[in-house]
Amino acid sequence: MTVQSRVIPEWPEWQSPETAAKYLDTAEQTLADWRCKGVGPAFKKIGQRMVRYRKEDLDAYMMERG
């Protein structure tokens, strides 16, 4: 029996809502709800539609909530 090691992905500095949701282990819709309510991790809106999260801000949000 072989034991497989888990590969931890390299997370980019700026993440899409999809990637940020995976990083936070939550739903992408939850991030959208938080943005509308003005809660949750800090994000950057680029243009009218593009939203990005910095990994540093996601980490800080998790530490605050932990």
- pLDDT tens-digit map of 8-61: 567 788 999 999 999 999 999 999 999 999 999 999 999 999 999 999 999 999
Residue 38 inside a domain? The answer is yes
Residue 9 inside a domain? The answer is no
Residue 18 inside a domain? The answer is yes
User: What does the alpha-carbon distance between residue 20 and residue 56 come to, in Å, rounded to a whole number?
Assistant: 11
Residue 48 inside a domain? The answer is yes
User: Residue 57 sits in which domain range?
Assistant: 14-65
Domain count, the chain: 1
* φ/ψ bin of 26: left (φ > 0), alpha (ψ from -120 to 50), beta (otherwise): beta
Q: Directed axis angle between helix 55-65 and helix 17-24, to 10°?
A: 30
Residue 4 inside a domain? The answer is no
Residue 58 inside a domain? The answer is yes
- Computed on alpha carbons and rounded to an integer, the radius of gyration of the chain in Å comes to 14
Q: What is the pTM of this model?
A: 0.80
